Structure formats: structure tokens, C-alpha cells
Amino acid sequence: MQNPKLFKTLAIVALVFLIVSALILGKPFLVPLTFGALLSMLLLPATRWLEGKGINKALSTLAAILLLISFLGLVLFFVGWQMSDIASNTAKLEQTISQKYEQAKDMVSQQLGVSEQKQEQIIKEQQRSSSGKMTGVVTAVMGGITGFLTDTLLVFVYVFLFIYLRSRIKGFIIRLVPQVERQNALTVLDDTQQITVKYLGGLFLMIVCLWVMYGIGFSLLGVEHAIFFAILCGLLEIVPFVGNLTGTAITVAMSLVQGGDMNMVIGILVVYGLVQFIQTYLLEPLIVGAEVSINPLFTIIGLVAGELIWGIPGMILAIPLLGITKILFEHIEALKPFAYLIGSDERKKDDKSWGQKVKSWFSKSD
């Protein structure tokens, strides 16, 4: 080879291309597996605590999984209850939507010079062209729901097996590395589990705090079904950046449909801004800290790449997987520059718990 550096570069590009292709083709298999692995690491401390109380491994694992399922079921029950309450006001919503529709037609007619008859004709043509697609849309939706339920069941099966067989999986990974690197491999495994627990646990606490703040703000503004929209905005936090904006946009749109005015819209945007300020400068340093210290550039790159490869699940998994990748890079000498590249210096990792951090704020300085 005349140019070994060029050969090495081409080999790296080819390897990246093969990995991305494998991730795309393996999405139906890899997405539930990855969710199962991350959730198993999240539930591992609870399982170990139950085992320490004398409960056998299988029952401890089942108890931790049932606790998670119960919490998710409670949230879904409350969301469904609120949605049924919204649906009970269908007549009022239809009347409001009809009024908004007439106002929009008048505005288009006055501002753009398009007569109402022409608007009706355009709408009817669009309805005729899309009517044949409804059957396909309904079929796709039903297929998506069936696939989601199947994947959810598969995720919990993976969670149980990952926790129950954790010793064997750990032993397998250790046996893959040379004897001199086994201690380093153990450190990587422990750090990976800790960062997953801290990130997902911090994310859970963050969502609960967002529920409270959005709930108070929307209730004070008089937004109808304020608790439902607060829960929606909090749950969408699992998709960084995009989730908050989407939740707020839905809240604004529904408030307008329900008869809200521009003062309410401005109030919702102010609540959103205040919550984002508190989240960024108080909650994230306090609750999440530096567990996933990825700089903004690679956070956005990870979200975009995750969406392109795995869709919405990819966006949800992007940040924790980037954090795990950063840990791996930090323990491999040749890859340490990449860990530095994707990392962030803004938040230094320390050993203080969030409670100790709060206490330190109120302690007297010398």
C-alpha cells in the first residue's frame, strides 16, 4: 500500500457505513433490546435491594418490573381519563373549531383575495384526493399499535432476562478481554450501569418536577385540562429539545381551539420560558448533574442521527447511548480524544449527592 494513512481512513469510513447500515436494518431487533438493556440497569439497584432482604433473584426481578409497570399504568390511566374528559366536551370543541374555521376563511378572503367559494372548492378537492388513502392510514395505525404492544412486551421480557442473567453476561464480557485489561473492563461496566441509573433516575425526577411546574402555571392561567397538558409536556421531556417545544405547541393550539385568547397564549409561552430557565439552571445541575456531560453540538448531532436511524426511539435513546459511548472512549487510550470531543467541561463530575449540593448552597462561606 502506497499510502497507509489513506487506507486507514477509507477503512474507518467503510466501518462506519457498515455499522450504520446494520443499525438501520436491525432496528426491529435492536430497539427493544436496547430499551431492555437500559431499563434493566435502571431497575438493578431495586432488584439488589430486594435480594438483600432475602427475596430470591427471580421474585426480586419480577417485583421491580411490576413496580415500573404499575407506575407507567398509573400515568396512562390518568392521561386516558383526562382525554375522555376532553372528548366529553366534543360539542363545545366542534362549535369552537367551526367559529375559528369561519374566522380563518374571512381572513383569507380579506387578506389574500381568495373567495369563500374558491376555498370550499379547494377543500373539497383535497378531501376527494385523500379519501382513498384513509383505509391505508387506518391500517397503518392499527399495525403500529400492534407492533408497539408487541415491542413493549418484548422489552419487559428482555429486562427480566438481563437482570436475571446479569452475572453470566458480565462474566462473558470479562472473558472477552485480555487478563491485564479485565479490571479496566469491570470499571467500564460499573460506570456504564451507574451513569444509566443516574441519568434515567434524574430524568424521572425531572419529569415529575416539570409536571408540578407546568401544572401550577397552566392552572393559574386558566388553561382547560391543565393537568393533562402538564403531564404531556413533562412526558415529552424524554425527547430533548424537541419534546418541550412539541408539548408547548400542542398546549397553545388546544387553548386556542378551546376559546383561549392571545393573552393566554402569551401566558403559556411565559410559563414555558420560566420552566425552561428553572430546568436548565437549577434542576439539571441539581438532579442530573454531569452524569451525561455531552456538549450541545454532539447532543444535537446525536438526536438528528438517532431520528434518521431509529426514528423517535432513536431520539429517546440518543443521549444515554452517547453517555455510554463517552465512557467507553474514556477507557480506551486511542479513543480518548473522541471522548474529549463529545464531552463538556461546563459541569465537573463530583461525588456529592443532590441533597449535599443543596446544603452546600446554604452553608456559610469562609
Query: CA nearest 319: which of 310, 306, 337, 332?
Result: 306
- Structural contact between residues 207 and 222, judged by C-beta atoms closer than 8 angstroms: no
| Domain contains 213 | yes
Residues 262 and 208 in one domain: yes
pLDDT of 366: 42
Alpha carbon distance 56, 62 (integer Å): 10
| Domain contains 180 | no
The residue count of the chain comes to 366
| Phi/psi of residue 177, nearest 5 degrees | -105, 155
Domain boundary among 290, 312, 336: 290
Residues 276 and 337 in one domain: no
Domain that holds residue 40: 27-89+156-167
Residues 304 and 286 in one domain: no
- Say if residue 57's pLDDT is above 80: yes
| Domain contains 42 | yes
For 177, the 3-state DSSP assignment is coil
Cβ-based neighbours of 68, under 8 Å, separated by 6 or more: 39, 43
Query: For 96-155, what is each residue's pLDDT tens digit?
Result: 666 666 666 666 566 665 566 665 666 566 555 554 454 554 455 555 677 778 889 999
Query: For 242-261, what is each residue's pLDDT tens digit?
Result: 787 888 888 888 887 777 77
- Say if residue 32's pLDDT is above 80: yes
| Domain contains 195 | no
Residues 309 and 256 in one domain: no
Alpha carbon distance 315, 279 (integer Å): 20
Residues 64 and 160 in one domain: yes
Alpha carbon distance 232, 323 (integer Å): 26
| Domain contains 255 | yes
Q: How many domains does the chain have?
A: 3
The dihedral over CA atoms of 264, 270, 273, 277, expressed in degrees to the nearest 10, equals -140
DSSP secondary structure letter of residue 366: -
Residue type, 286: L
**DSSP H helical segments within the chain, as ranges?**
4-25, 27-52, 57-87, 90-112, 116-131, 134-164, 166-176, 182-221, 226-235, 242-257, 262-278, 296-310, 312-330, 336-342, 354-362
- Structural contact between residues 302 and 318, judged by C-beta atoms closer than 8 angstroms: yes
Domain boundary among 256, 275, 290: 290
Residues 240 and 259 in one domain: yes
CA angle 162, 326, 287 (to 5 degrees): 80
Query: For 264-312, what is each residue's pLDDT tens digit?
Result: 889 999 999 999 888 877 777 776 655 567 888 888 888 889 989 998 8
Residues 64 and 163 in one domain: yes
Residues 34 and 163 in one domain: yes
Residues 162 and 76 in one domain: yes
Residues 76 and 161 in one domain: yes
Burial class (CB in 10 A: 0-12, 13-18, 19+), 214: buried
Residues 265 and 301 in one domain: no
| Domain contains 41 | yes
Task: Count CA atoms closer than 13 A to 179's CA, side-chain side.
Answer: 0
| Domain contains 362 | no
Q: How far is CA 341 from CA 241, 328, 330, 338, in A?
A: 21, 13, 11, 5
Residues 205 and 326 in one domain: no
Residue type, 300: I
Among the ranges given (130-139, 173-182, 209-218, 239-248), the one the predictor scored with the smallest mean pLDDT = 130-139
- 10 Å Cβ neighbour count for 259? 14
| Domain contains 338 | yes
The percent of residues in the chain predicted with pLDDT above 70, rounded, is 75
- 10 Å Cβ neighbour count for 204? 15
Burial class (CB in 10 A: 0-12, 13-18, 19+), 240: middle
